[in-house]
Amino acid sequence: MNVLFTDDNFTLFRDGFLRTVELTALSGLLALVLGVLLAAFRVSPVPPLRIFGTVWVNVLRNTPLVLLFFAVVFGLPKIGVDLGYFTFAVLALGCYTASFVCETVRSGINTVPLGQAEAARSLGMTFAQTLRLVVLPQATRTVVSPTGSILIALTKNSAIAGAFNNAELYGVMKTWNELGYKIFAIFFWIALGYLVITFAISALFRFLENRLAVAR
């Protein structure tokens, strides 16, 4: 158990933990923005946008994340785009998770009675206004809880970034393993690192859920 307190291990662990937090936060933000945008595309009256959203969701949601990492980390530099391993990881995680966020938001949109959108349109609101001012605010409540689950999954998926040259928690685990520390000790600290983040996300979303429940 005192892996953490020998040599420079604490610094290594702390930096890895913070990197995982950073990865999760940035790719989570990207996923939320992109996911809502994709959901808007999928319900929009413009066929090319609908097709774009559908293709994005069906391709990224139905293929392994590792595959996307390969494509981004090794593919993009081939066409002259080199943004560094961290940015690549944020892109891959964000784009992948966006497809799940999109479907959750879309199901939330479908829970809002059609009459709400009809009333908005009959007042002369555009599609974007109808969605932004009337439909999405009412969809939020149903979307909050599943979005929490998606971000928890994202936190754990971020471990894949460790296999692509990111010194986050999984990267720390690899280093400790190579240095020959006991496997259970490694497991304990790494798992604890992830649990801290995922519990924090759970708590945040439970808080949001309660707040939105009152606001009605």
Partner 1 sequence: MADVATTDTTTTAGTDDLVVLTGVNKHFGALHVLQDIDLEIARGEVVVVIGPSGSGKSTLCRTINRLETIDSGSITVDGRPLPAEGKELARLRAEVGMVFQSFNLFAHKTVLENVVMGQVKVRRTARAQAEAKARTLLDRVGVGAQADKYPAQLSGGQQQRVAIARALAMDPKVMLFDEPTSALDPEMINEVLEVMRQLAADGMTMVVVTHEMGFARSAANRVIFMADGRIVEQNTPDAFFTAPRSDRAKDFLSKILHH
Contact positions toward partner 1, by CB under 8 A?
45, 113, 115-116, 118-126, 129, 133-134, 137-138, 216
- What is the closest distance, in whole angstroms, from the C-beta atom of residue 208 to partner 1 in the complex? 16
Distance CA 45, CA 129 (A): 13
- What is the closest distance, in whole angstroms, from the C-beta atom of residue 136 to partner 1 in the complex? 10
Q: For residue 73, count other CB atoms closer than 10 A to its CB.
A: 20
Q: Which is nearer to partner 1, 142 or 166 (CB)?
A: 142
Which residue, 47, 51, 52, 135, is CA-closest to 127?
Answer: 135
- What is the closest distance, in whole angstroms, from the C-beta atom of residue 157 to partner 1 in the complex? 33
Q: Which is nearer to partner 1, 75 or 113 (CB)?
A: 113
* Four-point Cα dihedral 81, 18, 151, 128, nearest 10: -60
Q: Which is nearer to partner 1, 126 or 165 (CB)?
A: 126
What sections of 62-165 are H helices per DSSP? 65-70, 76-78, 85-111, 114-122, 127-129, 136-157, 159-162
**DSSP code of 3?**
G
- What is the closest distance, in whole angstroms, from the C-beta atom of residue 112 to partner 1 in the complex? 9
Q: Which is nearer to partner 1, 36 or 134 (CB)?
A: 134
Which residue, 57, 47, 35, is CA-closest to 105?
Answer: 35
Q: Which is nearer to partner 1, 64 or 137 (CB)?
A: 137
- What is the closest distance, in whole angstroms, from the C-beta atom of residue 102 to partner 1 in the complex? 22
Please work out, in degrees rounded to the nearest 5, the angle formed at the alpha carbon of residue 66 by the alpha carbons of 63 and 69: 105
